[in-house]
Amino acid sequence: MAAFVPLMEARLDGRASQTPSPSSRRPVVKPARLRPGDTVGLVIPSSANWDATEVDILLDALDELGLKGRLGAHVFDRRGYFAGRDEDRAADINAMFADPAVKAIHCIRGGWGAARLLPLLDWDTIAKHPKILQGYSDITALLLSLHHKTGLVTFHGPNGASVWNAFNVDWMKRVTWKGEATTFRNLSEPTEAIVQTEHRTRTITKGTARGTLLGGNLTVLTAILGSPYVPDFTGSILFVEDVQEAPYRIDRMLTQLSLAGILKQVRGVVWGTCSRCDPGEGFGSLTIPDVLIDHLAPLGVPAFHGAMIGHVDRQFTLPVGIEVELDATAGTLRMLEPAVI
């Protein structure tokens, strides 16, 4: 694994203590693991689905895995760019948590709109019926708010409309089916090159750190800052990713995290991918690596980038709210406990 220049050493005290539990952080609640034959509820909390074939593929994929898919009542609704009215999209989520036959909830796609549902969710029902909730991108609003409001461990992983390849299925099974306390390490595939050329990570600041894994899509995280749905990041390991954002926009959002005090609270940072985030034509633009160095290197905490997290065909299923150990030198995240029971 290569390293950024300049490379900084983390300022750590050498102790492997667990993350403190601030008064605003609820006790962790782990959902039951998935088992063959279980029913998975399928919802669309954000943008409308434009192709019913995507839903057919998802249902077939679940069937191939030995699971049963149950569509939300409003999956095929549309209101402008949303998958129906806010009230109806929220009702589908509430219904899936209330339904004892549904063992997990999978979000079919992201886009925009999940944050609009937060005031409409039935938090008491969600707390009483903890279940696996999985998705990424705009689903970040749900992943973080559910963990903050109820303590529920949620899962940043492929949406239903994502590619159901062997890599994605394997990580989903390891984390949400088998209950492994696994280590997330980028794929290393043999190629004609004599060294690894794809899925490489780069160190920003060397070192290891432990904390609660929190994060998701950078745009969505910054959009809900200042609301009552954001967890306490004190002592956390922050992971972030994004897609199709110019470097100046990533710079602006990381600046917002810094001004809000979030970056000063974390013990380590993992940057995943930023697909289609090139500086573009012209002279003078910073690059994403430049922006990361500007914001993360001065923190003095272990940090690396390039993890298989984000808008990519092959991505990890990360448990939001679980204790992990980050090794920025090796480019890994190690779960310190299972995420399901």
Residue that the structure tokens 């110019």 belong to: 246
156 given a catalytic annotation: no
How far from the centroid of its chain's Cα atoms is residue 310's Cα?
A: 8
Contact assessment for residue 268 and residue 240, using Cβ atoms and an 8 Å cutoff: no
Q: At 304, list the tokens.
A: 């690396």
Relative to beta strand 68-71, strand 303-305 is: unpaired
137 given a catalytic annotation: yes
Contact assessment for residue 147 and residue 231, using Cβ atoms and an 8 Å cutoff: yes
CB neighbours of residue 194 within 10 Å: 6
Cross-strand pairs, 40: 69, 104
Helices (H), 175-261: 218-223, 247-259
311 given a catalytic annotation: yes
Check 148, 156, 305, 311 and give the catalytic one.
311
Contact assessment for residue 96 and residue 41, using Cβ atoms and an 8 Å cutoff: yes
Q: What is the CA radius of gyration of the chain?
A: 19
Check 47, 137, 162, 236 and give the catalytic one.
137
Check 241, 245, 323, 325 and give the catalytic one.
241
Residues labelled catalytic: 137, 241, 311
